[in-house]
Structure 1
Amino acid sequence: MIEEASTQNIDRRIQLAVEAFQFLKNTTINERAEFMNAVADQIEALGDELLTAAHSETSLPLARLTGEKARTAGQWRSYAKAVSAGIYTEARIDLSQPEKQKGDLRKYNVGIGPVVVFGASNFPFAFSTAGGDTASAIGAGCPVIIKAHPAHPQTSQIMADVITATVKAFGWPEGIFSHITGKSYEIGAYLIQHPDIQAVAFTGSFNGGKALFDIANRRDNPIPVFAEMGSINPVFALQYLLETKAEVLAKEYIASLTLGVGQFCTNPGVFIALKGKPLDRFINTLKVEIQNVAPAHMLHKGIFESFEKNKNTAIAQPNVELIASAHTETEGSYGNASVITTSASNFMNNPVLSEEVFGPFGIVVACETDEELRKIAQQLKGQLTITIAATNEDVRDNSKLINLLKDKCGRLLFNGMPTGVEVVYGMQHGGPFPSTTDSRFTSVGPDAVKRFVRPISFQNWPDEFLPEELKNSNPLQISRMVDGVRNSESLNIQTT
């Protein structure tokens, strides 16, 4: 039984977060990093209870959950390291020049205030209660109110208890972290509408993310909503590579398409190539390989029902052919993989076919000409990823196509498949709308912290009253931009 949070409880939690934000303003980057590393320690110390609960609630394999647990702890550590290095303070100092009548100006980034994080269903650890959104917000100096995903309440509570215990162990205010439960849409809407909430992080469906975004923008004081809302992640297979590696590419594609029962936001839902014998070989291999894909339970009944509905809707569209299906007789919420094919003209003229089907379902689009490849690229909505399956010669011959695709995604792959998102500085997990609501930011990697900071500038302030990041002595020993030159040195000057 999931307890529905009352508005009174939510109001109390938000007030505690407001008070905790004043505390976090006075913590240093090193103190927040120490806290984050302590949370990572506690996550790593969790035993079978966590894995058993998550497996029971999500049907995800224990091996997958074990890896995701390690990734989650790793996120807290890598973000902590970035925070303590002062990367996201972006300290800027322009010293006074009395002879030019210029004052002393110093700028850095601070947390924006209490953040609401909505837990995701497909990553019960890494994108939920103790996931990257929570870690990056706290690293930025923002209290977090998590709206737990109702698909895995026990898992969420275990993770929440870890963070709450760490807050208590550090002697920090209770409002640093709060855990809100409930199934109703109204709870999420109430949280976002509250005037003391300053930002929102969400991973899930387009309908869910767009609804939250719209609520936030109707407020008297609109706030940012960093929503990752899915993607069809097209693969453009160019001719030279397809001619030589059609069979290999088919095996790679079907493996990525069905990985985790297709329940990844980077699932490559569409494969686009020129019509001809190489594409025929690709399709024939798909027909064989899909039979080797064992059906498995999807995350929960709601996702399964949505998958079946959307899959069947796509299959029922005019001028579409079902070319490969597992056709396994199963009972319960098992996701059976299927792939359809259609022409480029039909794909472009039927918007249903370019909508995400969350699960093991793909579309092979056969183009008559290179021009049709480019027309699809021009028409594409924003994507998290786009993959170019190509040789170097293909790239040289298709520069116009590739330039078009650069405008459509956050991550552009040269071969390989898009499933598998590394938690590193170079990762961009966020793309043009509608894949996300703000393509300038990533929700994966240490740069995720950037979402929850804002700049503030100090003019002509005495050194003793400046934040540590901007003091002359540079006590945190961070890299700063001083009069346009980056260095980590102290400043041998006096301010008045």
Structure 2
Amino acid sequence: MIEETSKENIEVRIQMASEAYQFLKNTTIKQRAAFMNAVADQIEALGEELLTTAHTETSLPLARLTGEKARTVGQWRSYAKAVASGIYTEPRIDLAQPEKQKGDLRKYNIGLGPVVVFGASNFPFAFSTAGGDTASAIGAGCPVIVKAHPAHCQTSQMMADAIANTVKEYGWPEGIFSHITGTSYEIGTYLTEHKDIQAVAFTGSFNGGKALFDIASRRENPIPVFAEMGSINPVFALENLIENKAETLAKEYISSLTLGVGQFCTNPGVFIAVKGESLDRFITVVKNEITGIVPANMLHKGIYESFEKHKIEAISQPDIEIIAFIETEEGKGSAAVIQTDAQSFINNPVLSKEVFGPFGIIVTCENREELIQIAQNLKGQLTITVAATSDDIRENSELIHFLKDKCGRLLFNGMPTGVEVVYAMQHGGPFPSTTDARFTSVGPDAVKRFVRPISFQNWPDEFLPEELKNENPLQINRIVDGEVNLGSLKLETV
């Protein structure tokens, strides 16, 4: 039985977060980075109990969970290093000059305020309670209230305790981090509507993310909702590549499609190519590969039921041919692949919906013009993969031109599953894959979501934040009069 956090308790937690925000505003980037590293130490110290609890609650293999735990620790540490560098404060200084009417101007970024993070079901560590959203928000200087995902409440509580223990060890206000539980939609609505909440981070379904976005937009003071809501992550296979690698490509595609029972937001749900002998060879191997995929438990009952519903809906559409289908087992993700033609895919919006699980659609095109038509009609995606040779790219420049408009990450070969936690990663794309394509939820740049700029005009040095003081006590790179400057400013103070 999942305990439902009362509105009274939530109200107290929000008030505590508001007070903690005033504290965090006065911490330096170095102090927050040290705190984040301490959280990483706490998570790393969690033993087998964490892994076995998560395995019991999610059915994810222990090997996968071990790797995800390491990734989560790595996120806190890499984000801490980025925060300490000052890169996200973006200090800008324009010194007073006789020709300037406004005098001395200095600008930097501060945290938005209390942030609500909704835990994701498919990554109980890396995208949940102590995941990248929580790490990046705290790094930005924002207190966090986590709404635990009901599919792994015990796991969530263990991760929450690790953060809360760090808060206590540091003697920081308890409101820096709060953890609440429940299954009712009213909790999410109440949190998002509350006047003291300044941002929301969400990873999950389109319906859930869009609902939160709409609530936040209707507020008297609208706030940003950074929602990752799903993607079909199409693969465009071009002529020369598929001719030479049809069999290998088919194995790569099915491996990625069914990885983790297809429960990745970068699952390559749609494969698109011009029909012909090469595509026929590809489809033959797909049929053979699917028969070897053993159904496995999905994350929870809700995901299984949603997968079956959307899979059957897609299979029931007109102009569909079933390529491969594994008989359904209760609670398990049974793989399936169907085929349709380009015009049916373009004209039937059901076929462009994400089916979260091991389900794929092969779209056959008559020619390159239909590849371009599909690209032009695609909705926003987290990823698009171009399976191609260099000659293919040269011969399909118009297609590539349109694909750039439709995704956050454009791959040249390989498959999109697997998201590196690095600066250059973009895990976010045009709507409806996310609500704001300007930001990423993976990599240190995730911190950018939770800051805003404030400019100080003609302030005495002693009252400026550390990031903007003449002496540059934090020793960070700053833009001074348009030039990168790591040093101090030798100026007369008034």
Question: Which residue of the partner structure matches residue 242 of structure 1?
Answer: 242
Query: Following TM superposition, by how much is the alpha carbon of 1:102 offset from its aligned partner in structure 2, in angstroms?
Result: 4.3
Matched to 1:349, the amino acid is N
Question: Which residue of the partner structure matches residue 24 of structure 1?
Answer: 24
Question: Which residue of the partner structure matches residue 397 of structure 1?
Answer: 395
Alpha-carbon separation, structure 1, partners of 2:100 and 2:426: 42
**Contact 2:53–2:155, Cα closer than 8 Å, also in 1:** yes
Q: Secondary structure at the match of 1:371?
A: helix
Question: Which residue of the partner structure matches residue 406 of structure 2?
Answer: 408
**Contact 1:227–1:436, Cα closer than 8 Å, also in 2:** yes
Question: Which residue of the partner structure matches residue 197 of structure 1?
Answer: 197
Query: Following TM superposition, by how much is the alpha carbon of 1:369 offset from its aligned partner in structure 2, in angstroms?
Result: 1.1
Which region of structure 1 is more displaced relative to structure 2, 95-104 or 420-429? Answer: 95-104
Q: Secondary structure at the match of 2:88?
A: helix
Question: Which residue of the partner structure matches residue 93 of structure 1?
Answer: 93
Matched to 2:147, the amino acid is K
C-alpha spacing 1:345/1:464, structure 2 compared with 1 (3 Å) = same
Alpha-carbon separation, structure 1, partners of 2:180 and 2:137: 17
Structure 1: which 4+ aligned runs deviate by more than 4 Å?
none
> Aligned ranges for residues 153-232 of structure 1 at < 5 Å?
153-232=153-232
Matched to 1:315, the amino acid is I
Query: Following TM superposition, by how much is the alpha carbon of 1:399 offset from its aligned partner in structure 2, in angstroms?
Result: 0.4
Question: Which residue of the partner structure matches residue 382 of structure 1?
Answer: 380
Question: Which residue of the partner structure matches residue 298 of structure 1?
Answer: 298
Q: Secondary structure at the match of 1:202?
A: strand
Alpha-carbon separation, structure 1, partners of 2:46 and 2:157: 13
Query: Following TM superposition, by how much is the alpha carbon of 1:52 offset from its aligned partner in structure 2, in angstroms?
Result: 0.8
Question: Which residue of the partner structure matches residue 322 of structure 2?
Answer: 322
**Contact 1:118–1:201, Cα closer than 8 Å, also in 2:** yes
Question: Which residue of the partner structure matches residue 73 of structure 1?
Answer: 73
Q: Write the deviation string for residues 412-452 of structure 1: whole angstroms up to 9, x where unpaired.
A: 00000000000000000000000000000000000000000
Question: Which residue of the partner structure matches residue 282 of structure 1?
Answer: 282
Asked if residue 259 in structure 1 is aligned to residue 241 in structure 2, the reply is no
**Contact 1:89–1:109, Cα closer than 8 Å, also in 2:** yes
Question: Which residue of the partner structure matches residue 273 of structure 1?
Answer: 273
Q: Write the deviation string for residues 277-309 of structure 1: whole angstroms up to 9, x where unpaired.
A: 100000000011111212110000000000001
Q: Write the deviation string for residues 376-400 of structure 1: whole angstroms up to 9, x where unpaired.
A: 0000000000000000000000000
Q: Write the deviation string for residues 314-334 of structure 1: whole angstroms up to 9, x where unpaired.
A: 00100100001233x63x311
Alpha-carbon separation, structure 2, partners of 1:495 and 1:104: 12
Alpha-carbon separation, structure 2, partners of 1:176 and 1:364: 48
Alpha-carbon separation, structure 2, partners of 1:212 and 1:415: 35
Alpha-carbon separation, structure 2, partners of 1:192 and 1:101: 42
Question: Which residue of the partner structure matches residue 59 of structure 1?
Answer: 59
Question: Which residue of the partner structure matches residue 438 of structure 2?
Answer: 440
Q: Secondary structure at the match of 1:221?
A: coil
Question: Which residue of the partner structure matches residue 354 of structure 1?
Answer: 352
**Contact 1:234–1:386, Cα closer than 8 Å, also in 2:** yes
**Contact 2:150–2:183, Cα closer than 8 Å, also in 1:** yes
Query: Following TM superposition, by how much is the alpha carbon of 1:495 offset from its aligned partner in structure 2, in angstroms?
Result: 3.3
5+ long unaligned stretches in structure 1? none
Matched to 1:112, the amino acid is L
Alpha-carbon separation, structure 2, partners of 1:320 and 1:477: 62
Q: Secondary structure at the match of 1:152?
A: helix
Question: Which residue of the partner structure matches residue 141 of structure 2?
Answer: 141
Q: Secondary structure at the match of 1:89?
A: coil
**Contact 1:20–1:174, Cα closer than 8 Å, also in 2:** yes
Question: Which residue of the partner structure matches residue 331 of structure 2?
Answer: 333
Alpha-carbon separation, structure 2, partners of 1:414 and 1:202: 29
**Contact 2:204–2:228, Cα closer than 8 Å, also in 1:** yes
Alpha-carbon separation, structure 2, partners of 1:101 and 1:232: 53
Alpha-carbon separation, structure 2, partners of 1:249 and 1:101: 63
Alpha-carbon separation, structure 1, partners of 2:38 and 2:290: 44
> Aligned ranges for residues 412-423 of structure 1 at < 5 Å?
412-423=410-421
Alpha-carbon separation, structure 2, partners of 1:345 and 1:142: 48
C-alpha spacing 1:323/1:169, structure 2 compared with 1 (3 Å) = same
Q: Write the deviation string for residues 442-463 of structure 1: whole angstroms up to 9, x where unpaired.
A: 0000000000000000000000
Q: Write the deviation string for residues 313-368 of structure 1: whole angstroms up to 9, x where unpaired.
A: 100100100001233x63x3110110000000111111100100000000000000
Of all paired residues, the percent bearing the same amino acid is: 79
**Contact 2:21–2:141, Cα closer than 8 Å, also in 1:** yes
How many pairs are equivalent?
494
Alpha-carbon separation, structure 1, partners of 2:427 and 2:353: 19
Alpha-carbon separation, structure 1, partners of 2:260 and 2:387: 22
Q: Secondary structure at the match of 2:441?
A: coil
Please, what is the CA RMSD of the aligned residues? 0.7
Q: Secondary structure at the match of 1:223?
A: coil
> Aligned ranges for residues 355-374 of structure 1 at < 5 Å?
355-374=353-372
Matched to 2:202, the amino acid is F
Question: Which residue of the partner structure matches residue 40 of structure 1?
Answer: 40
Alpha-carbon separation, structure 2, partners of 1:176 and 1:382: 35
Q: Secondary structure at the match of 2:108?
A: strand
**Contact 2:263–2:358, Cα closer than 8 Å, also in 1:** yes
**Contact 1:463–1:494, Cα closer than 8 Å, also in 2:** no
Alpha-carbon separation, structure 1, partners of 2:202 and 2:132: 11
Alpha-carbon separation, structure 2, partners of 1:72 and 1:102: 45
Q: Secondary structure at the match of 1:267?
A: coil
Query: Following TM superposition, by how much is the alpha carbon of 1:231 offset from its aligned partner in structure 2, in angstroms?
Result: 0.1
Question: Which residue of the partner structure matches residue 309 of structure 1?
Answer: 309
**Contact 1:461–1:495, Cα closer than 8 Å, also in 2:** no
Matched to 1:321, the amino acid is E
Matched to 1:292, the amino acid is G
Alpha-carbon separation, structure 1, partners of 2:294 and 2:68: 22
5+ long unaligned stretches in structure 2? none
Alpha-carbon separation, structure 2, partners of 1:252 and 1:121: 26
Q: Secondary structure at the match of 2:416?
A: coil
Alpha-carbon separation, structure 2, partners of 1:67 and 1:169: 27
TM-score norm. by structure 1 comes to: 0.99
**Contact 2:32–2:138, Cα closer than 8 Å, also in 1:** yes
Matched to 2:225, the amino acid is V
Query: Following TM superposition, by how much is the alpha carbon of 1:471 offset from its aligned partner in structure 2, in angstroms?
Result: 0.3
